[in-house]
Amino acid sequence: GAGVSQSPSNKVTEKGKDVELRCDPISGHTALYWYRQSLGQGLEFLIYFQGNSAPDKSGLPSDRFSAERTGGSVSTLTIQRTQQEDSAVYLCASSLGPAADTQYFGPGTRLTVL
Amino acid sequence: QKEVEQNSGPLSVPEGAIASLNCTYSDRVSQSFFWYRQYSGKSPELIMSIYSNGDKEDGRFTAQLNKASQYVSLLIRDSQPSDSATYLCAVKTAEYGNKLVFGAGTILRVKS
């Protein structure tokens, strides 16, 4: 079946612009996660959605970052007034549910802020 | 101290040898432990999970967990050049709910 999909695969933007990154999880997966991976670094947790519960936003680095998940499926990560330090690969993952340990990752969106 | 620590490497091993990758974690009540493989420019993929002390084998891979010492390791037997990748250790811990806390990864290079 289809895996996690993300779009765009690459995004180049100018400092100060807003960007939207999209994630389409595996059908039937209720849990969705956003991570950020800077060059040569591990994955940094950003935000976690589970069903209709309030999201866990504890990893968002600043109020310029926000995310929503509509209809319990597709999620959008928005970064306002982008800065050069926002440049990274943004990875989305989904899992069957909160008790499911296996997270399946999408291909990521590489964001470059000039 | 970082929650999950790994030696960044690179760890270089000859083809056919055993590669040993190590990971330590700080939260004693951590529950679940995972090894992800990430090829350059690709997203991570899960290769092993382990929950109980001891060894868990899957093909050429063996995960080892020692909760008393707070470390988890991954052994790759008969290493192949195709095993060359970054290996990420991840821990699910009660303090962090259902989030995975990742180490920075160890680069493995298998030389033919």
Q: Which tens digits make up the pLDDT trace of B9-58?
A: 899 999 999 999 999 998 878 789 999 999 998 999 999 999 999 999 99
Nearest CA to A88 out of A22, A49, A35 is that of A35
The answer to whether the Cβ–Cβ distance between B98 and A31 falls below 8 Å is: yes
The answer to whether the beta carbons of residues B105 and B5 sit under 8 Å apart is no
The answer to whether the beta carbons of residues B2 and B63 sit under 8 Å apart is no
**Local structure of residue A52 (DSSP, 8 states):** T
- Residue type at B59? G
How far apart are the C-alpha atoms of B29 and B1, rounded to whole Å?
16
The answer to whether the beta carbons of residues A15 and A114 sit under 8 Å apart is yes
Nearest to B43 among A41, A102, A105 (CB): A105
The answer to whether the Cβ–Cβ distance between A103 and B99 falls below 8 Å is: no
Q: What are the pLDDT digits (tens) for A31-89?
A: 999 999 998 778 999 999 988 888 999 999 999 999 999 887 999 999 999 999 999 99
Give me the residues paired with residue B48 across strands.
B35
The answer to whether the Cβ–Cβ distance between A48 and B97 falls below 8 Å is: yes
How far apart are the C-alpha atoms of A29 and A93, rounded to whole Å?
10
Supply the pLDDT for residue A1. Answer: 54
Q: How far is CA B5 from the centre of its chain?
A: 10
Supply the pLDDT for residue B45. Answer: 93
Residue found under tokens 């790994």: B6
> Edge-to-edge strands of the sheet including A75-79?
A5-7, A19-24, A75-79, A65-69
CA distances from B99 to A32, B35, B103 (A): 10, 15, 13
Residues 6+ apart with CB under 8 A from A31: A48, A49, A50, A51, A94, A95, A96, A97, A98, A100, A103, B98
Cis-peptide, bond into residue A8, ω within 30° of zero: yes
- Residue type at A65? F
Joined tokens for residue A96: 């069957």
Residues of B with Cβ-Cβ distance to A108 under 8 angstroms:
43
B63 has a chain A CB within 8 A of its CB:
no
Q: What are the pLDDT digits (tens) for B47-102?
A: 999 999 999 999 999 999 999 999 999 999 999 999 999 999 999 876 667 678 89
